[in-house]
Amino acid sequence: MAMEDIFVALEEQGEQESREAVEAAREQAEGIKEDAEAQAKAIRDGRVEAAEAHATLVSARTVNSARLNGRRMVAGVKERAIVTAFDEALVKLGSVRGSAGYPALFRALAEEAVAGLTGEVVILVDPADEALAAEFLKSSGMVGSVDATAKTFGGLTIVAKGGDLLRRNSLEDRLEKFRGLGQSEIAEVLSA
């Protein structure tokens, strides 16, 4: 019976080792499964996070693009309004010279243009303003001459210091100055 006991003992030992191997394999399989699930979750979370970041970026770009387009549209409307207003004002300038207040306006423009000047000046005007310029030169005590070769809707240009100094004070110049102010406002709208 000793041999039989050895076989039984070997068989029991084999079964025990088999159970331990199966149990170790199960534990290893469970560990592999948990690692795989953790990796899958990390991959899913990473992809979800990446998708959210991409969606946020696309959304921000879309909003910024819409804001920029809105600003451009507002600026375009303002620019067209300014151009229209100044074109209409330029047309109306043609009738200013015929108004009763024009001689006083011409004098005010002339006084502003010669303020602080000394020495001989040339007053450059439209032929329609030659008499007003000559009267201003005489009454102001300035030394100089009138050159009636300019083409303006009104106002004058002063040439002083032998041609080194030029002061433009025509109605068109004044209007153009305000046009520049309107365009700077449009630039502010675009940069805001």
Residue boundaries of the structural domains of the chain? 94-183
CATH number of the structural domain 94-183: 3.30.2320.30
Name 178's Cβ contacts closer than 8 Å, sequence gap at least 6. 86
- The better pLDDT of the pair 182, 4 is held by 4
According to the per-residue pLDDT averaged within each range, which of 82-91, 154-163, 175-184 is highest? 154-163
pLDDT of residue 192: 60
Examine the pLDDT at 190 and tell me if it is beyond 60: no
Q: What is the chain's mean pLDDT, rounded?
A: 84
pLDDT digits (tens, 9 = 90+) for 123-150: 999 999 999 999 999 999 899 999 999 9
Percent of the chain residues past pLDDT 70, beyond the cut: 94
- The better pLDDT of the pair 182, 69 is held by 69
Examine the pLDDT at 162 and tell me if it is beyond 90: no
* pLDDT range class, residue 154, cuts 50, 70, 90: very high
pLDDT digits (tens, 9 = 90+) for 18-53: 788 778 878 887 888 888 788 878 888 888 888 888
